[in-house]
Homo-oligomer: A and B are copies of this chain.
Amino acid sequence: MSTLSEVAARAGVTSATVSNVLRNRGRVGDETRQRVLDAVAALGYRPHLAARALAEGRAPTIALMVSSIANPFYPEFALAVERAARISGRFVIICNTNQDPLAGRAYLEQIAGTLSEGVLVMNANLDFDDLHQTEARGTPVVLCMWERPLDPPGLPCVAVDFRRAGELAARHLLELGHRQIVAIVGSKRAGIHAARYEGFVDALRAAGVKLPRTCVRHAPDTIEGGYAAARELLELHPATTAIFASNDLPALGSIHAAFDLRRDVPADLSVIGITDIQLARQSRPPLTTVQVPTVEAAEMAVSLLRELIERPPHTHQAARRGGRAAHEPPRVRVASEPTLIVRGSTSAPRRVRG
């Protein structure tokens, strides 16, 4: 592979001139420009983006903070982020916080602004103060899939209407005729699944169906967490005909619990989740769920972060002073609405069908 200086030597110019031509910067005469481009073509020179960035003291990467890449949703999201980032010539560094705000802080301190030009945060249980500090030091931060479009955080974000997702799940169960419903919420009461749960409960209430406290379990957002919660709920409320889980993993765990309790899904028990991870399609029976626009949200988040990284420096200063420059991009973008995906895990309850 030929080098910048070989190109410069052949074109009879300095390396700086070659660099200016390739980056459309500086003043270079037309004839010189053509000589450089001819030399580039003749030598098969490919400008080495990463090396160039490093020479400028900048690394063309973005950090993606996730709480655990072992949860299958995150790799799917990371894949979408990586594809979108590659288009803008950037690489993705995956930062697992393992749900630990201290681990998240360590990552932010170590790479934000140096190794990474910007930070995407995907449910990483980070301390908001840490994120604000990162932003204040001049490194853009974007929250991905913020759960409440109408209640934006003080940071740039891509919002998804998860309240609506919960509402769609409730309406589906109600339309099938379910009234004996229990719910598994994959986070703490005020946690990231609260909006989905609210949407679900409000839609039930609007239809005159109550969800007593004993019919709701907060559980870890995993297959195992959903499994244990579903077993408890089904023992406590044997007449249950449908389980709503605020995420696909606990919904899949609920299907496993039904299997072990010899309850047929969907004949004896309907199960619905939210997200539509790949496993939802692959389970037996395949999971009915409310699909959220994962890929779109990833693309929007990368695009917003890119705009924040590439905006002219004086707007950074304005932002740091607490002001907002005229051409600063909007800080909240809302992705498409969630949509119901009906698969094999839901049907009308027996007594209604029979």
Q: Show the binding face of A for B, using Cβ within 8 Å.
A: 1, 46, 48-51, 53-55, 57-61, 68-70, 72, 74-76, 78-79, 82, 91-96, 109-111, 114-115, 223-224, 252-253, 255-256, 259-260, 278-279, 282, 284
Tell me, in angstroms, the Cα distance from A57 to B55 when the chains sit together.
Answer: 7
Residues of B within 8 A of A78 (CB): 69, 94
In-complex Cβ contact of A115 among B50, B70, B252, B284 (8 A): B50
In Å, the complex CA distance between A321 and B114 comes to: 35
| A61 with B115, Cβ < 8 A, contacts A48-B110, A109-B1, A109-B46 known | yes
The oligomer's copy count stands at 2
Which B residues lie within 8 Å of A91 (CB)?
93, 95, 110-111, 115
Name the residue in A55, A79, A82, A224 with the highest tally of chain B Cβ atoms < 10 Å from its Cβ.
A79
Known contacts A92-B93, A93-B91, A282-B223; A114 and B54 CB within 8 A of each other: yes
Residues of B within 8 A of A115 (CB): 50, 53-54, 59-61, 91
Alpha-carbon distance between A174 and B74 when the two chains are bound, in angstroms: 39
Which B residue sits closest to A82, measured CB to CB?
B96
Which residues does chain B contribute within 8 Å of A224, judged by CB atoms?
282
Query: A54-B114, A68-B79 provided; 15 other pairs, C-beta below 8 A?
Result: A1-B109, A49-B110, A50-B110, A50-B114, A54-B54, A54-B58, A69-B79, A70-B278, A74-B75, A75-B75, A78-B94, A91-B110, A94-B94, A224-B282, A256-B282
Chain B's closest residue to A224 (CB) is B282
| Residues on B with beta carbons closer than 8 Å to the beta carbon of A260 | 284
Asked if A50 and B111 sit within 8 Å, CB to CB, the answer is yes
